[in-house]
Structure 1
Amino acid sequence: MTDLPKLFIIIGVVFIVIGLIWTMFGKLPGDISFKKGNVTFYFPIVTSIVVSIVLSLIFYFIGKIR
């Protein structure tokens, strides 16, 4: 159980970094967006990958603690 506070600190730092990048760019670099006329298509591929990696790491570390 002593690893749990460290895990929460790491998760918090990761979320802060993602939030800062997201705030600076409005979207993560690598996200796909097309605008033609009055139609806009936005596919957040990099955002999806980052969220997937973060969630995978969170669940991995929680599984290691149990």
Structure 2
Amino acid sequence: MNRTLILIGLILIAVGLLWPWFSRLPLGQLPGDIAVRRENVSFFFPITTMILASLALTGLLWLINR
């Protein structure tokens, strides 16, 4: 359990340090993401981005547990 918490903490630190570069990636603007913009309301549902993130995390966790 301790190793897992340390690993999660290190991953969060790495993501925090790399956030300026991650924010430049075109994620969240992929085809299949739902965006509705009206006069006073905007709604955004990044379904394609969530599927890609899920696949990437599944692959990463599969490699770690292998």
- 4+ residue runs over 4 A deviation: none
Q: Number of paired residues?
A: 43
1:31 to 30, 33, 46: 33
Counterpart in the other structure of 2:50:
48
Given the two structures, how large is their TM-score scaled by the length of structure 1? 0.57
Bigger RCO of structures 1 and 2 (CA < 8 A, at least 6 apart): 1
Given the two structures, how large is their TM-score scaled by the length of structure 2? 0.57
SS of aligned partner of 2:30: coil
Q: Percentage identity across aligned positions?
A: 40
Unaligned 5+ runs, structure 1: 1-15
CA RMSD of aligned residues (A): 2.0
Unaligned 5+ runs, structure 2: 1-21
